[in-house]
Amino acid sequence: MKKIKTPVLAMSSLDDTMSDDVFESVEEAESNPDANKLSTNKTNYGKTPSSTGYRDYKPHKTTRNPSDPSLKIVHKTILLGDSGVGKTSLLVRFDTGQFQTGNFSATVGIGFTNKIISVDESKVKLQIWDTAGQERFRSVTHAYYRDAHALLLLYDVTNKTSFDNIRAWLSEIRDYANDHVVIMLLGNKADCHPGDRMIKKEDGEKLAKEYSVTFMETSAKSGLNVEVAFMAVARELLFKKTGVENKESFNVQDYVREQTKANCSSCFPA
């Protein structure tokens, strides 16, 4: 099979202080087994940025069982949203269960990590892609929409601009993504102090209803609904693959509603 080369963008200065997106060359990740590890020289951190914004993040290695046909199917899942909304924080939290703190560099490419999720008695392999939120990287991001199976679109509940831009993101999704892609809207940083919140939960719910997409609030810092978000995506993708005959057997919005209700004791007031 011919190897597809992915454009690698040169690193600019570290002035994108709001960016926390993972970035690395797909070509490098495929050709170098250690490329998906963060191999930053800590003594040079801040001078020679690594392929990821977090210097201590090492994506988990997945154990592949050749006899398991489900693991041969990769479900491409892309994190989208403005720079600084917490896309990488969400990915790292889900992948490692930890919230990375400290300084980080700006995103400079397209990066991904694989994660295998157990759904009942089945396994779903998600290939989770992190993308740059800055406008200058948008044309590169568009190229990844077309074969995406799921899109997680994030805004920051403390940043009104990131919420106002959601309509533009959804418009791009409509233009570039396939018609059957799973879309989920996430209001991130729900752990914030009530005084810092700019977007009410009801506003997110209203916008999601307008565009007929699933919605929930998340927090990479506290872990609120992070597992639920990816599990809901995995379940919906598995259903689309196997449950077409019985449409009533699974409804992603009902699943999210039940799971987020179960987590209500951890929720912060809107």
Domain ranges of the chain: 26-265
Rounded CA gap, 236 and 233, in Å?
5
Rounded CA gap, 157 and 267, in Å?
13
pLDDT confidence band for 115 (50 / 70 / 90): very high
Which pLDDT value is given to residue 195? 97
Chain mean pLDDT for the chain: 74
Q: Where are the alpha helices (DSSP H) in the chain?
A: 26-31, 87-96, 138-145, 160-164, 166-176, 201-211, 226-242, 252-262
3-state secondary structure at position 123: strand
Rounded CA gap, 133 and 22, in Å?
11
Q: Are strands 111-119 and 122-130 parallel, antiparallel or unpaired?
A: antiparallel
Q: What percentage of residues in the chain have a pLDDT greater than 90?
A: 44
Q: Which fold has domain 26-265?
A: Rossmann fold (3.40.50)
Which pLDDT value is given to residue 105? 54
Q: What percentage of residues in the chain have a pLDDT greater than 70?
A: 62
Rounded CA gap, 154 and 85, in Å?
6
Each residue of 132-156: pLDDT tens digit?
A: 777 766 777 788 888 999 999 999 9
Residue 88 has pLDDT above 60, yes or no: yes
The pTM for the full model equals 0.73
Residue with token string 């044309």: 139
Lowest mean pLDDT among 59-63, 145-149, 163-167, 171-175: 59-63
3-state secondary structure at position 197: coil
3-state secondary structure at position 253: helix
CA torsion sign for 214, 215, 221, 223 is negative
